[in-house]
Structure 1
Amino acid sequence: MIAVDKISLVGYGAAICTTCSFIPQVWQVIQSRNTESISLLMYCIFVFGVFLWCVYGVVVRDLPLIMANLITLILSGLILAMKLRDTTSKVDN
């Protein structure tokens, strides 16, 4: 069995909380197909920042940091992709 120190447990707890906080937003966007109130610039910057956190986590070999940010990157990337789709479809019309 893998031993986990108490500080890592705090990291895993934080990772679970912050990552799970994106699930309701993703669910709402998928269900409603509405990204109008979401800031494109904010999500571009945020997704890039989360990507950088993933890179940092790999460099420092911090598993909670890597896991949380990888999942957050996927969830926020989905929202960004839907926002970009909606934005480009408005430009085409």
Structure 2
Amino acid sequence: MLWSIMGTIAAICTTVGFIPQIIRGLKTKSLSDVSPMMMTLLFVGCSLWMVYGIHLKNLIIALANGFTLSFVTTIILLRILFKKSAQDLGTEKT
């Protein structure tokens, strides 16, 4: 029981940790300082963890990584959208 509680708290912490980055990106309309390689690795890792959690029928692992995957995907898509908008306006940061 203690391990399930600890796992749930860990899953919540690591999952919601991406929300401040999304909020900051939406406010500043820029995610150019976010590494695309890191986001790609997180995307692959969370996908694999989610599949692993589904295979084990472990709801905590599957759901936490499913939500994290959605947040990582949001960051990737916003980064692409903001970069395209900056290019269209001629204000792209290098």
Calculate the aligned-residue CA RMSD, in Å.
1.7
Structure 1: unaligned runs, 5 residues or longer: none
Once the 2 structures are TM-superposed, how far is the Cα of residue 87 of structure 1 from its aligned partner?
A: 4.2
CA distance in 1, matches of 2:45, 2:83: 21
Which stretches of structure 1, 4 residues or more, deviate above 4 A after TM superposition?
none
Structure 2: unaligned runs, 5 residues or longer: none
Q: Is 1:58 aligned to 2:71, yes or no? A: no
Q: TM-score, normalised by structure 2?
A: 0.82
Q: Which residue of 2 aligns with 1:7?
A: 3
Name the count of aligned residue pairs: 88
What are the Cα deviations for residues 51-84 of structure 1, in whole angstroms up to 9, with x where unaligned?
Answer: 1110010001111111111111111110011122
Q: TM-score, normalised by structure 1?
A: 0.83
Identical-pair percentage: 31
